Amino acid sequence: MNLVDLWLTRSLSMCLLLQSFVLMILCFHSASMCPKGCLCSSSGGLNVTCSNANLKEIPRDLPPETVLLYLDSNQITSIPNEIFKDLHQLRVLNLSKNGIEFIDEHAFKGVAETLQTLDLSDNRIQSVHKNAFNNLKARARIANNPWHCDCTLQQVLRGMVSNHETAHNVICKTSVLDEHAGRPFLNAANDADLCNLPKKTTDYAMLVTMFGWFTMVISYVVYYVRQNQEDARRHLEYLKSLPSRQKKADEPDDISTVV
């Protein structure tokens, strides 16, 4: 074996060894960044599985390269602002079967454009901020929550890409209109525009208030006129009751004339 062959053989061996070393570092790096109680694997991107991990909140040390994130079947109660802002590759987010009640206005900031699937089903969500799902491109699953159907929910669903499918699966636990309770939101929204109800209520209240003031003014005017008429009548009767005094012809003048 000549010197060139020996050099090529050693170079190839060193290249393979270096490649293995780099792979080991990458694997160790991914494993070391995996949140406590979660499992991380690489299959078409980094998959982080934290299902049934007894989590009470969303981990804040999620790897930035996370593509699929499973946080289902835990005890999470809220989604804070910008909690996913560094996960720019996130495509699937599963938060189903938790106890989520609150979703902050900017909860999905940073992932709204990339997220493809969002599962929030089987939680305790009654309402969300009207901007909570702004710019969200994902197909959202939000069924099996005790939704309160009102104008805010109507605005939220209208702003979502898959609003028709999403709205069809939303059942009103309660509603601003009692007759809509227990019905699918889509049927309720078709029956009445929930965003016009407060305006109509305000108009009716203003009308009733104006009518009340008008009635008070009219009543006061009538009372004032009647009171004046009564006073005038009494004064006239008083004047009539006074004795009339006529001056006698032989009665001297009060002022004597000196000649």
What tokens were used for 32?
Answer: 């070391």
Q: Are residues 215 and 189 in the same domain?
A: no
Q: Are residues 217 and 164 in the same domain?
A: no
pLDDT at res. 80: 97
CATH value at residue 128: 3.80.10.10
Q: What is the pLDDT of residues 68-90, one digit of tens each?
A: 999 999 999 999 999 999 999 99
pLDDT at res. 169: 84
- Is there a domain that residue 160 lies in? yes
What residue type is assigned to position 54 of the chain? Answer: N
Q: Are residues 163 and 225 in the same domain?
A: no
- Does residue 110 register a pLDDT over 80? yes
Q: Could you give the CA distance from residue 14 to residue 135 in angstroms, rounded to a whole number?
A: 49
Q: How far apart are the first and last CA of the chain?
A: 177
The whole-model pTM stands at 0.65
Q: Which domain holds residue 219?
A: 195-229
Q: Are residues 189 and 214 in the same domain?
A: no
Structural domains counted in the chain: 2
Contact 144, 121 (CB under 8 A): yes
Name which of 193, 150, 141, 191 is nearest 169 in CA terms. 141
Q: Are residues 162 and 208 in the same domain?
A: no
- Is there a domain that residue 159 lies in? yes
The predicted model gives 5-28 an average pLDDT of 50
Q: Are residues 204 and 184 in the same domain?
A: no
Contact 151, 175 (CB under 8 A): no
Instruction: Return the higher-pLDDT residue of 248 and 62.
Output: 62
pLDDT at res. 50: 97
* Average pLDDT value over all residues in the chain: 80
pLDDT band at 27 (very low <50, low <70, confident <90, very high): very low
Q: Are residues 142 and 218 in the same domain?
A: no
- Is there a domain that residue 86 lies in? yes
What residue type is assigned to position 5 of the chain? Answer: D
What residue type is assigned to position 20 of the chain? Answer: S
In angstroms, what CA-CA distances link 31 with 41, 142, 162?
Answer: 8, 32, 36
- Does residue 148 register a pLDDT over 90? yes
DSSP three-state, residue 139: strand
pLDDT band at 201 (very low <50, low <70, confident <90, very high): low
Q: What share of the chain is helix, strand, coil (3-state, %, to 5)?
A: 40, 15, 50
pLDDT band at 47 (very low <50, low <70, confident <90, very high): very high
What residue type is assigned to position 97 of the chain? Answer: K
What tokens were used for 82?
Answer: 């910008």
Find where tokens 């699966």 sit: 169
- Is there a domain that residue 167 lies in? yes
Contact 111, 88 (CB under 8 A): yes
- Is there a domain that residue 27 lies in? no
Q: Could you give the CA distance from residue 195 to residue 153 in angstroms, rounded to a whole number?
A: 10
Q: Are residues 205 and 155 in the same domain?
A: no
Q: State the pairing for strand pair 66-70/78-79.
A: unpaired
Q: Are residues 100 and 202 in the same domain?
A: no
The DSSP code for 2 is: -
* Element spanning 211, H or E: helix 197-241
- Is there a domain that residue 45 lies in? yes
Lowest mean pLDDT: which of 22-26, 65-69, 211-215? 22-26
